Amino acid sequence: MPTDLSQAADARTFRPSPHAKRGGLRAGQGRFGVMLLLPALIAFSLIVLSPFVQALGLSLYKYTISTPEPIFVGLANFKKLLADPTVRGSFVTTAVYVFFTTFFSITLGLAWAIILNEPFKGRNALRGISLLPWIMPATVSAFIFGWIFNSRYGVLNAVAMEFGFIEHPQAWLSTTSGAMTAIVMVKVWLSIPLFMSFFLAGLASMDREQIEAARVDGAGNYNVLKDHILPHLRPVILVVVVLGMIGNLQQFDSIYALTGGGPVRATSVLSVEVYRRAFEQWDIGMAATIGVLWVATILPPAYFYLRQLMKGAE
Amino acid sequence: MMLDLSTTKAKLVFFAVAAAIGFFLFFPVYWTVISALKSDNELYQIVPTAYPHAPTLDHFKTALTEGQLPKLLGNSLFVSLSSAAFNATLATYAGYSFAKYRYFGRKPVMMFMLSAQMFPFGLLLITIYPMYVEWGLLDTRLGLILSYIVFALPVATYMIYSYFSQVPNELIEAARADGASDLRIFHTIVLPISIPPIVTVFLYSFMWSWNDLLYSLTLIVSDDKRTVAPGLLLTYLNETNADWGGAMAASLMAATPVILGFMFLQRFFIQGVTAGAVK
Q: Tell me phi and psi for residue B166, to 5 degrees.
A: -85, -15
Q: Residue A287 above 60 pLDDT?
A: yes
Residues B106 and B161 in one domain: yes
- Does residue B279 fall inside a structural domain? no
With bands split at pLDDT 50, 70 and 90, how would you rate the model's confidence at B3? confident
Q: Residue A26 above 60 pLDDT?
A: no
Q: Got the DSSP string for A236-282?
A: HHHHHHHHHHHHHHH--HHHHHHTTT-STTTT--HHHHHHHHHHTS-
Contact at 8 Å (CB) between A70 and B221? no
Q: B-chain residues within 8 Å CB-CB of A43?
A: 90, 146, 149, 153
Q: Residue B124 above 90 pLDDT?
A: yes
Residues B182 and B157 in one domain: yes
With bands split at pLDDT 50, 70 and 90, how would you rate the model's confidence at B5? confident
Q: Residue A308 above 80 pLDDT?
A: no
d(CA A135, CA B264): 13
Contact at 8 Å (CB) between A261 and A273? yes
d(CA B28, CA A237): 27
- Residue A13 pLDDT: 37
Q: Residue A18 above 50 pLDDT?
A: no
Instruction: Give CA separation, A19 vs A15, A22, A46, B166, B239, in Å.
Output: 11, 8, 39, 9, 59
Contact at 8 Å (CB) between B14 and B5? yes
Contact at 8 Å (CB) between B29 and A132? yes
Taken in order A57, A59, A60, A66, the sign of the CA dihedral is positive
CB of A149 less than 8 A from some CB of B: no
Contact at 8 Å (CB) between B36 and B250? no
- Residue A314 pLDDT: 54
Give B54-79 pLDDT, tens digit per residue: 899 999 998 898 878 999 999 999 99
Give A78-89 pLDDT, tens digit per residue: 998 888 888 889
Length of chain B: 279
First to last CA, chain A: 33
- Residue A15 pLDDT: 47
3-state secondary structure chain B: CCCCCCCHHHHHHHHHHHHHHHHHHHHHHHHHHHHHHCCHHHHCCCCCCCCCCCCCCHHHHHHHHCCCHHHHHHHHHHHHHHHHHHHHHHHHHHHHHHHHCCCCCHHHHHHHHHHHHHCCHHHHHHHHHHHHHHHCCCCCHHHHHHHCHHHHHHHHHHHHHHHHCCCCHHHHHHHHHCCCCHHHHHHHHHHHHHHHHHHHHHHHHHHHHHHCCHHHHHHCCCHHHCCHHHHHHHHHECCCCECHHHHHHHHHHHHHHHHHHHHHHHHHHHHHHHCCCCC
Residues B50 and B65 in one domain: no
Residues B47 and B144 in one domain: no
Average pLDDT of span B167-194 = 88
Q: Residue B276 above 60 pLDDT?
A: no
> Comparing A276 with B263, which gets the higher pLDDT?
A276
Q: Residue A161 above 70 pLDDT?
A: yes
Residues B124 and B41 in one domain: no
Lowest mean pLDDT among A106-115, A162-171, B207-216: A162-171
Nearest by Cα to B191 from A258, A46, A11? A11
Q: Residue A145 above 50 pLDDT?
A: yes
Average pLDDT of span B1-27 = 91
Q: Cα A41 to the chain's mean position, in Å?
A: 25
Contact at 8 Å (CB) between A142 and A186? yes
Contact at 8 Å (CB) between B77 and B136? no
Q: Judge residue B104's burial from the number of C-beta atoms within 10 Å of its C-beta, 0-12 exposed, 13-18 middle, 19 or more buried.
A: exposed
Option in B4, B45, B188 nearest A153 (CB): B45
Best interface-test mutation with B: which of A6, A45, A140 has the largest number of B CBs within 10 A?
A: A140
**Quick one: what percent of chain B has pLDDT higher than 70?**
95
- Cβ of A48 and B26 within 8 Å? no
Residues B165 and B225 in one domain: yes
E strand or H helix at A221, and its extent? helix A221-223
Nearest by Cα to B203 from B84, B103, B50? B84
Residues B70 and B17 in one domain: no
Residues B85 and B101 in one domain: yes
> Comparing A215 with A15, which gets the higher pLDDT?
A215
Residues B147 and B77 in one domain: yes
Residues 68-97 of B with CB under 8 A from A: 89-91, 93-94, 96-97
Contact at 8 Å (CB) between A245 and A301? yes
Number of independent structural domains in chain B: 2
Q: Tell me phi and psi for residue A61, to 5 degrees.
A: -120, 150
Question: Which structural domain, as residue segments, surrounds residue B48?
Answer: 8-56
List Cβ neighbours of B192 (8 Å cut-off, separation of 6 or more): A11, A12
With bands split at pLDDT 50, 70 and 90, how would you rate the model's confidence at A47? very high
- ipTM value of the model? 0.88
Find out if CATH 1.10.3720.10 is the number for domain A71-311. yes
Residues B181 and B264 in one domain: yes
Residue B237 C-alpha, separation from nearest chain A C-alpha, in angstroms: 9
Q: B-chain residues within 8 Å CB-CB of A51?
A: 124, 126-128, 131
Residues B20 and B123 in one domain: no
At B219, which CATH number?
1.10.3720.10
- Residue A264 pLDDT: 86
> Comparing A148 with A68, which gets the higher pLDDT?
A148
- Residue B1 pLDDT: 66
DSSP letter, residue A172: G
- Cβ of B214 and A7 within 8 Å? no
Q: Residue A204 above 80 pLDDT?
A: yes
Length of chain A: 314
The mean of the pLDDT values for chain A is 85
Contact at 8 Å (CB) between B234 and B166? no
Contact at 8 Å (CB) between A239 and A198? yes
**Quick one: what percent of chain B has pLDDT higher than 90?**
52
Nearest by Cα to A134 from A71, A211, A204, A187? A187
- Does residue B102 fall inside a structural domain? yes
- Residue A24 pLDDT: 63
- Residue B200 pLDDT: 87
**CA of A210: which chain B residue's CA is closest?**
B2
Average pLDDT of span B15-40 = 94
Three-state DSSP state, A309: helix
The mean of the pLDDT values for chain B is 89
Q: Cα A262 to the chain's mean position, in Å?
A: 21
- Does residue B1 fall inside a structural domain? no
Q: Judge residue B36's burial from the number of C-beta atoms within 10 Å of its C-beta, 0-12 exposed, 13-18 middle, 19 or more buried.
A: buried
Q: How many CB atoms lie within 10 A of CB B257?
A: 19
- Residue B63 pLDDT: 87
Residues B200 and B65 in one domain: yes
- Residue A12 pLDDT: 37
d(CA A207, CA A156): 43
d(CA A80, CA A289): 10
- Does residue B48 fall inside a structural domain? yes
Q: How many CB atoms lie within 10 A of CB B166?
A: 18
CB of A31 less than 8 A from some CB of B: yes
Best interface-test mutation with B: which of A36, A50, A63, A280 has the largest number of B CBs within 10 A?
A: A36
d(CA A291, CA B129): 15
CB of A238 less than 8 A from some CB of B: no
- Alpha-helical regions (H) of A25-170: 30-44, 50-58, 76-82, 85-116, 123-129, 132-135, 138-148, 155-162
- Does residue B2 fall inside a structural domain? no
Lowest mean pLDDT among A24-38, A195-209, B87-101: A24-38
- Does residue B23 fall inside a structural domain? yes
Q: B-chain residues within 8 Å CB-CB of A41?
A: 94, 109, 113
With bands split at pLDDT 50, 70 and 90, how would you rate the model's confidence at B277? low
E strand or H helix at A13, and its extent? none
**DSSP β-bridge partners for residue A71:** A62
Q: Judge residue B195's burial from the number of C-beta atoms within 10 Å of its C-beta, 0-12 exposed, 13-18 middle, 19 or more buried.
A: exposed
- Cβ of B46 and A158 within 8 Å? yes
Q: Residue A21 above 70 pLDDT?
A: no
Give B199-233 pLDDT, tens digit per residue: 889 998 999 999 999 999 999 999 999 999 999 98
**DSSP β-bridge partners for residue B193:** none
- Cβ of B150 and A249 within 8 Å? no
Q: Residue B242 above 60 pLDDT?
A: yes
